[in-house]
């Protein structure tokens, strides 16, 4: 099945080994979304995949801050940084896409978090909220009006990507069953979904996608 419209894009967020079961920062059932994504990707005009791609000395790693523990927060110049376990280090197996993810329909891969001094949750902007990844320009250059997002994790990188997508003026959809959340702290997943809905983002299921294309 193919869409006959060319104003839509599918953004697959961080479906990487380190975010799937067995990975260093695993999201529960993160691998379960892969078949759903594979079934969807062929129907979109443009398909983009994002990839966390951190240097080994990245500012977001707890090991980069002696005396600090994983999941603590620290103050940086412009924002608060959660300290994560080392994950998605450039060139490692953990940074690779899940082996079952079909990359053939993917037109563009955005690697984010490459600056050792700046984290990057969103597919559109790094965490200073000023440094653009280039994705917004790419999509607008192709006349994209509708952006459909999925991936890992719903309440972190998918959330920030969707909020930035809406901020940039795209009609934005999050495919809930093609995403999984971490829900840390408890309630964060619901709060993130509520914030997205309040921002005009539509939360849909994979079997509804064709209705909105």
Q: Which of 162, 126, 124 is nearest to 54 (CA)?
A: 126
- Catalytic residue from among 88, 112, 150, 164: 112
Q: Which of 153, 130, 148, 116 is nearest to 78 (CA)?
A: 130
What is the CA 180 to chain-centroid distance, rounded?
11
- Catalytic residue from among 14, 31, 155, 164: 14
- Catalytic residue from among 20, 88, 150, 157: 157
82 within 8 A of 73, measured Cβ to Cβ: yes
**Which residue has tokens 């869409």?**
3
Cis omega (within 30 of 0) on the bond before 185? yes
Q: Is residue 157 annotated as part of the catalytic site, yes or no?
A: yes
Helical H runs in the chain?
A: 34-40, 135-141, 157-167, 188-198, 209-212
Interatomic CA distance for residues 170 and 32, integer angstroms:
28
Q: Is residue 112 annotated as part of the catalytic site, yes or no?
A: yes
Interatomic CA distance for residues 138 and 189, integer angstroms:
29
Q: Which residues are catalytic?
A: 14, 112, 157
């Amino acid at each position: 099945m193919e869409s006959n419209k060319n104003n839509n894009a599918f953004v697959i967020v961080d479906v990487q080994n380190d975010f799937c079961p067995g990975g260093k920062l695993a999201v529960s059932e993160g691998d379960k979304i892969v078949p759903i994504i594979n079934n969807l990707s062929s129907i979109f005009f443009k398909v983009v995949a994002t990839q966390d791609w951190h240097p080994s000395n990245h500012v977001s790693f707890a090991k980069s801050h002696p005396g600090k523990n994983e999941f603590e927060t620290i103050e940086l110049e412009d924002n608060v940084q959660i300290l994560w376990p080392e994950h998605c280090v450039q060139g490692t197996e953990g940074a690779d896409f899940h082996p079952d993810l079909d990359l053939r329909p993917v037109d563009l891969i955005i690697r984010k978090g490459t600056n050792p001094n700046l984290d990057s949750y969103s597919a559109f902007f790094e965490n200073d909220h000023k440094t653009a990844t280039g994705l917004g320009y790419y999509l607008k250059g192709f006349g994209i009006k509708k952006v459909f997002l999925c991936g890992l994790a719903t309440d972190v990188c998918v959330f920030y990507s969707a909020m930035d997508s809406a901020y940039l003026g795209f009609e934005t959809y999050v495919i809930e069953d093609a995403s999984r959340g971490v829900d840390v702290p408890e309630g964060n997943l619901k709060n993130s979904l509520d914030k997205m809905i309040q921002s005009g983002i539509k939360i849909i299921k994979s079997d509804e996608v064709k209705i909105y294309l």
